[in-house]
């Protein structure tokens, strides 16, 4: 265990705070996982990597067996039912294949496995029990075989999103229904048609609301009050706001999670990612062409709270950085990190600041400083980088290159001929062609060397 102070921005308080766990021997973190109706995209990869880094930091500070990381799988939801019908695929087959793809993505992005990964369908009894509690406590009501949470019954509603209920109704997406007493009231339990998935309950055959699932699963593994709850910025309202309301009311507590962390949005070439615009890039699509570490570094290059634009330049910069860094790769068992290097990570997970320090360490390491080299490698490993050996790294790039060795050498020869004739425009054009195909060339005296990017 390290004696280090971690400061994190808490969405609930709206400011950066010193992280003080409820019990330093049992630190708990819950992060909202995927709804398994479609392949995860690059926007979904960001919270995966951000909270993986936070998990690694917590393990470093408190010790391997003292941190519990829970990330759920939502495998029952209206989106899943719609996708199943649209694609004519049985629901269990859809959720199983999408969950497998998600796990493949996690491995590809070098994310550590959480301690627990509960599925919503495995905790229906707990969801029915919490709904019964909320009805008993007068925080919910039943109408037309639906059970709704009554937002007016929770005085702190809107505290997380920093908006009063009137603003939330006007500016947010809320489900409209004649059965609800208030537009902000949300579903705890809804009826299922005979062909849709459903479970027997005191209110008839049906299924849980989305918000209820996370409240029940987080309580099961972390208790009624735990340390950290994380997710994307899009989940602040209504999902996380509703989790707080139902959990506090069901358990008659003032607190649910003590610290709330949210990562910013990802855009694609300055535009919002959207299926209608056709600019949603799935992680699965990238597996065959980009090493997962490149994506990891790219997504850590911007502070987690800030918006991040996904574009070709960002990918190339990260690729080039890792290619350079891998020249310093050397097996080491050292796992010590000095205070100066760690400082940015301990100040609200400032990964850009941390990466800048890694660049400085690399410069020292490349000049033969063995201490800097070991510190550099340990620092990279802490955020999940340089964990492949250099041969694996090179092999991936080589197998994914669009151009074979014979063509490379032929273009280099053509470039040399062009330079001899003084045709530098053609020479530069050939260099650019090679770079676009993932090949870097270096002129060394009378010879030209080449390597994969």
Establish how many alpha carbons lie within 13 A of residue 302's alpha carbon, considering only the half-sphere containing its beta carbon.
20
Q: Which is more confident, 108 or 327?
A: 108
Burial call 239-258: b when 16+ CB within 10 Å, e when fewer:
bbbbbbbbbbbbbeeeebbb
The mean per-residue pLDDT over the stretch 325-352 comes to 87
In angstroms, the CA 303 to CA 197 distance is: 40
Instruction: Please write the tens of the pLDDT for every residue from 371-380.
Output: 898 899 999 9
Supply the pTM of this predicted model: 0.86
Is a pLDDT exceeding 70 seen at residue 428? yes
Beta-ladder partners of 449:
442
pLDDT value, residue 229: 98
Is a pLDDT exceeding 90 seen at residue 2? no
The mean per-residue pLDDT over the stretch 341-359 comes to 97
Instruction: Please write the tens of the pLDDT for every residue from 245-263.
Output: 999 999 999 999 999 999 9
pLDDT value, residue 406: 72
* pLDDT band of 15, cuts 50, 70, 90: very high
Is a pLDDT exceeding 80 seen at residue 299? yes
Place of tokens 């099961």: 220
Backbone dihedral angles phi then psi of residue 237, each to the nearest 5 degrees: -130, 130
Angle between helix 42-62 and helix 91-108 axes, rounded to 10 deg: 60
Nearest to 299 by CA among 48, 57, 58: 48
Instruction: Please write the tens of the pLDDT for every residue from 175-218.
Output: 667 789 998 999 999 999 999 999 999 999 999 999 999 999 99
- Which class is 7-266 in CATH? alpha beta
CB 446 within 8 A of CB 413: no
Domain range summary for the chain, segments of one domain joined by +: 7-266, 288-396, 401-452
Nearest to 81 by CA among 176, 191, 175, 197: 197
Is a pLDDT exceeding 80 seen at residue 330? no
**Token pair for 423:** 């045709």
CB 145 within 8 A of CB 191: yes
pLDDT value, residue 453: 55
Other C-beta atoms within 10 Å of 399: how many?
A: 9
**Token pair for 331:** 């097996």
**Token pair for 87:** 């694609």
Nearest to 450 by CA among 418, 420, 406: 406
pLDDT value, residue 409: 83
The mean per-residue pLDDT over the stretch 228-232 comes to 98
CB 117 within 8 A of CB 73: yes
Is a pLDDT exceeding 80 seen at residue 403? no
Beta-ladder partners of 67:
27
Q: Are strands 206-208 and 439-444 parallel, antiparallel or unpaired?
A: unpaired
Other C-beta atoms within 10 Å of 153: how many?
A: 17
pLDDT value, residue 76: 96
Instruction: Please write the tens of the pLDDT for every residue from 146-174.
Output: 999 999 999 999 999 998 887 777 655 56
Cis status of the peptide bond prior to 117, with omega within 30 of 0: no
pLDDT value, residue 394: 82
Backbone dihedral angles phi then psi of residue 102, each to the nearest 5 degrees: -60, -45
373 by Cβ neighbours in 10 Å (0-12 / 13-18 / 19+) ranks as: buried
Strand order in the sheet with 266-268: 271-272, 266-268, 308-310
In angstroms, the CA 257 to CA 255 distance is: 6
Is a pLDDT exceeding 70 seen at residue 332? no
Is a pLDDT exceeding 80 seen at residue 416? yes
Q: What angle do CA 193, 196, 201 make, to 5 degrees?
A: 70
Percentage of residues in the chain having pLDDT higher than 90: 69
In angstroms, the CA 348 to CA 343 distance is: 10
CA distances from 85 to 80, 98, 146, 172 (A): 9, 15, 23, 28
Is a pLDDT exceeding 60 seen at residue 401? no
């Amino acid at each position: 265990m390290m004696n280090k102070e971690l400061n994190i921005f808490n969405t609930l308080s709206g400011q950066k705070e010193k992280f003080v766990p409820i019990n330093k021997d049992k630190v708990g973190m819950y992060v909202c996982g995927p709804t398994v109706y479609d392949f995860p995209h690059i926007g979904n990869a960001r919270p995966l990597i951000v909270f993986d880094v936070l998990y690694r930091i917590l393990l470093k500070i408190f010790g391997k067996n003292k941190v519990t990381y829970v990330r759920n799988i939502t495998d029952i939801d209206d989106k899943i039912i719609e996708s199943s019908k649209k694609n004519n695929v049985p629901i269990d087959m859809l959720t199983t294949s999408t969950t497998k793809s998600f796990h493949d993505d996690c491995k590809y992005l070098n994310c550590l496995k959480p301690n627990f990964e509960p599925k919503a369908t495995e905790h229906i009894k707990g969801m029915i029990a919490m709904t019964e509690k909320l009805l008993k406590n007068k925080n919910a009501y039943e109408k037309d075989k639906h059970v709704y949470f009554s937002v007016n019954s929770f005085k702190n509603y809107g505290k997380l999103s920093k908006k009063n209920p009137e603003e939330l109704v006007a500016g947010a997406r809320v489900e409209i229904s004649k059965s609800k007493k208030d537009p902000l009231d949300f579903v705890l339990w809804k009826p299922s048609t005979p062909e849709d998935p459903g479970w027997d309950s005191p209110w008839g055959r049906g299924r849980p609301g989305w918000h209820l699932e996370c409240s029940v699963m987080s309580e099961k593994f972390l208790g009624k009050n735990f340390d950290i709850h994380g997710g994307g910025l899009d989940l602040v309202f209504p999902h996380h706001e509703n989790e707080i309301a139902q959990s506090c009311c069901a358990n008659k507590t003032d607190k649910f999670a003590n610290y709330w962390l949210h990562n910013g949005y990802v855009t694609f070439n300055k535009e919002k990612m959207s299926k209608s615009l056709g600019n949603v890039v799935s992680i699965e699509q990238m597996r065959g062409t980009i090493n997962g570490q490149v994506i990891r570094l790219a997504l850590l290059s911007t502070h987690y709270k800030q918006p991040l634009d996904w574009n070709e330049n960002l990918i190339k910069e990260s690729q080039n950085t890792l290619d350079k860094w891998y020249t310093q790769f050397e097996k080491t068992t050292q796992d010590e990190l000095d205070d100066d290097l760690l400082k940015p990570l301990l100040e609200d997970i400032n990964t850009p600041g941390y990466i800048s320090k890694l660049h400085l360490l690399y410069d020292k390491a490349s000049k033969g400083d063995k201490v800097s080299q070991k510190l550099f490698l340990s620092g990279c490993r802490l955020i999940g980088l340089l964990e492949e050996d250099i041969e694996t790294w090179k092999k991936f790039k080589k197998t994914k290159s669009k151009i074979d060795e014979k063509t490379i050498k032929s273009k280099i020869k053509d470039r040399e001929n062009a330079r001899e004739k003084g045709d530098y425009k053609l020479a530069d054009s050939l260099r650019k062609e090679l770079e676009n195909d993932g090949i870097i060339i270096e002129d060394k005296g009378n010879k030209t060397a080449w390597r994969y990017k």
